[in-house]
Structure 1
Amino acid sequence: MWKWVIVVLVVMLGLMQYRLWFGEGGIREFNDIQARADTLEGNTDTLKARNDRLAAEVVDLKNGLDAIEERARSDIGMVRQDEQFFWVPGVDDSGDGPAARTGVVQP
């Protein structure tokens, strides 16, 4: 009789261990959720850094004309009245925007 009690207890222990490791809310599911949370945290950090850069740019655009002037030069290639504009065909510059490709030179 004691043999059967021990067998039943061992089987119950095995079932509880199976449920702990592989069942709903078990260790495997916990590890999967933890991995997803780590991935989302990395994405959140990247997005927070981007938002901080954009917020700083908004503050610059609201407070200073230098940022607006820089944006106008790089995005649409604007040139001030006291500047000279030189266009050299076939020259490839590594800068961004039309102003970087135009060769604007300040006297």
Structure 2
Amino acid sequence: MWKWVILVLVVMLGLMQYRLWFGESGVREFNDIQARADTLEGATDTLKARNDRLAAEVVDLKNGLDAIEERARSDIGMVRRDEQFYWVPDVETDRRGPAAQTGVVRP
């Protein structure tokens, strides 16, 4: 009689262990969810850093003329009235934007 009780308890323990390790909401699924959460956290950190940079740029554009002037120079190639404009053909530059490629020089 005790053999059957022990056998039934061992079988039940085995079934519970199977569900714990391989069943729905088990350890394997937990590890998969944890890996996805880690991946999303890395992506979120990258996006937060980008948002912080954009917020700082917005504050600069609202508060100061230096940021607006820099943006106008790099994006649309504007030159101030008291500056001389020199165009040097076939010159490669590392910076992006039309102003960087035009060779704007202050006197």
TM range (shorter): over 0.9
1:20 aligns with: 20
Q: Residue 21 of structure 1 aligns to which amino acid in structure 2?
A: W
Aligned-pair distance for 1:6? 1.9
1:40 aligns with: 40
2:75 matches 1:75: yes
Q: Residue 91 of structure 2 aligns to which amino acid in structure 1?
A: V
Q: TM-score, normalised by structure 2?
A: 0.95
Mapped partners of 1:27, 1:2: distance in 2: 33
Aligned-pair distance for 1:4? 2.3
Q: TM-score, normalised by structure 1?
A: 0.95
Unmatched segments (≥5 aa) in structure 2: none
Q: Residue 84 of structure 1 aligns to which amino acid in structure 2?
A: Q
Count of residues in correspondence between the two structures: 107
Mapped partners of 1:67, 1:30: distance in 2: 48
Aligned-pair distance for 1:2? 2.4
1:91 aligns with: 91
Please report the RMSD computed on the Cα atoms of aligned residues, expressed in angstroms.
Answer: 0.9
In percent, how many aligned pairs have the same letter? 87
Instruction: Classify the secondary structure of the residue corresponding to 1:58.
Output: helix
Instruction: Classify the secondary structure of the residue corresponding to 2:80.
Output: coil
Q: Residue 11 of structure 2 aligns to which amino acid in structure 1?
A: V
Aligned-pair distance for 1:5? 2.1
